[in-house]
Structure 1
Amino acid sequence: MLSTVDLAYPFRGRWLTQNSPASRVPSHGTALFASSFAIDFVPVNEAGRTAPITFGSLLRPEPAERFPGFGRPILAPVHGLVVAVHDTAPDHQAFRGLPSVGYALTQRRRAAAGWVELAGNHVMIQTPDGVVMAVCHLQHRSVQVQLGQRVRVGEPLGHCGNSGNSTEPHVHLQAIDRSDVVHACAVPITFGGRLPDNGEIIDAV
């Protein structure tokens, strides 16, 4: 098994790095479901910002469509075989400010329901080396590939959504050593040989 898998960025445009293993491991604060080296990318506008924060957004949930990256194309970060597809989870509202506190209190329930509940809509790609890449939180009914299909780097997988365990539209990537997430081990990832840090703005072309 490879010690690290090198990826292409699964998007174009401007994105913000969050929850990166460049800053801490486990990157998401837990090793549950082999997420130790997972990384999140949040789509932002040309100024490097997500949806503007208003007084209302601090008090109530917001439509996912209000965020600049909702619906942006998500691309294959590796060559490989599609070994799992999930496309039926709804996109829920985004949660910032006080609503994010209430949403956080429901996270244990989602984790108890299993990895699919956390990942939302997703595609899993197995590389020729046996590593499985999970691309998660895709938009409802946006997945453009099928189980058993072979994909190349840069091919469309779907669109950025807000499904699963997500407080605002973003894409979650993690590499694992098998498609059975419950029993998998996390595999470290890099992008072009390096790992972006938390808060770094990525301009992908």
Structure 2
Amino acid sequence: MSAPIDLAYPFAGRWRVQNSPANRVPSHGTRVFATSHAIDFVPVAADGRTAPITLSTLLRPEPPRRFPGFERPLLAPIDGIVIAAHDGEPDHHAYRGLPSIVYALTQRRRVAAGWAALAGNHVLIDRDGVIVALCHLRQGSLQVEAGQQVRTADVLAACGNSGNSTEPHVHVQAIDHPDIGRANAVPVTFNGSLPASGEVVHAGEPRG
């Protein structure tokens, strides 16, 4: 297994950790598409919660703008070269309650469409042969392009709900090859440690 790559948090403010490899590996329940050490961060309000749950939440999909972190800036977690910056995928509605069960039944179709379909809008950053991916970005928010040098804390895009996402969040994973079909997962840490699922992390402000 590759040595962990240490990253900065790719955001400012409060975000709740989900699907952390600190709790289990593979973190997302599968090793497909080198996701065994991937981690998710869900933006939350000052009280540590995401959008309130109502009767409507339980019965029908919700617009992503209802969630407190939709459109929050996402930042480069490391210095490197952007090798891919994909935009153009729509931000679909969020799915909680009964809609999340219906959404889960279509998971096999999304997996069959490949990693790019799952990732939605995304950025890949190469640092000495290790590629860091940030996924589910908001459509039209990308501020970088392939070939561009970025520094840690540079603004890359905004949090969205594109690809395989049940509510606005950012999915982070590191791999050892730009071809996801040939890649192995690289473990990640953040500022020297790895938060567990359920923790709320509070990061600083983006570079001005």
Global fold match (TM > 0.5): yes
Secondary structure of 1:30's counterpart equals: coil
Q: Find runs of 4+ consecutive structure 1 residues off by over 3 angstroms.
A: none
Aligned residues: 204
User: What do residues 64-94 of structure 1 show as CA deviations (whole Å, max 9, x unaligned)?
Assistant: 0000000000000011010111101000000
Instruction: Give the Cα separation in 2 of the matches to 1:158 and 1:58.
Output: 30
Equivalent residue, structure 2, for 1:142:
141
- Stretches of structure 1 that go unaligned for 5 or more consecutive residues are none
Corresponding residue for residue 204 of structure 1: 203
SS at match of 1:164: coil
SS in structure 1 of the partner of residue 181 of structure 2:
helix
**For residue 98 of structure 2, what is the aligned residue in structure 1?**
98
Letter in 2 for 1:120: G
Aligned with 1:182: secondary structure?
coil
Q: Which residue of 2 aligns with 1:60?
A: 60
Alignment match, 1:70: 70
**1:97-143 per-position Cα deviation (integer Å, ceiling 9, x unaligned):** 0000010111110110111100000000000x210000000000101
Residue in 2 that maps onto 1:154: 153
Equivalent residues of 2:2, 2:187 under 8 A apart: no
Partners of 1:120 and 1:87 in 2: CA distance: 8
Residue deviations 1:23-73 (CA, integer Å, cap 9, x gap): 000000000000000000000000000000001100000000000000000
Q: Secondary structure at the match of 1:70?
A: coil
Q: Separation in 2 of the partners of 1:195 and 1:189?
A: 8
- Report % sequence identity: 65
TM-score (norm 1): 0.98
Aligned equivalents of 2:181, 2:46: Cα separation in 1? 38
Distance 1:139 1:154 in 2: 18
Q: Which amino acid aligns with 2:63?
A: P
- Compute the RMSD of aligned alpha carbons: 0.8
Partner of 2:11: 11
Normalised to the residue count of structure 2, the TM-score between the two structures is 0.97
* Aligned counterparts of 2:107 and 2:76: Cα–Cα separation in 1: 28
Q: In the TM superposition, what is the alpha-carbon distance from 1:192 to its structure 2 partner?
A: 1.1
CA distance in 2 between counterparts of 1:179 and 1:84 reads 9
Alignment correspondent of 1:26:
26
Match of 1:110 in 2: 110
**2:146 aligned partner, one-letter code:** L
Deviation of the 1:2 alpha carbon: 4.8
Structure 2 residue 82 is matched with structure 1 residue 88 = no
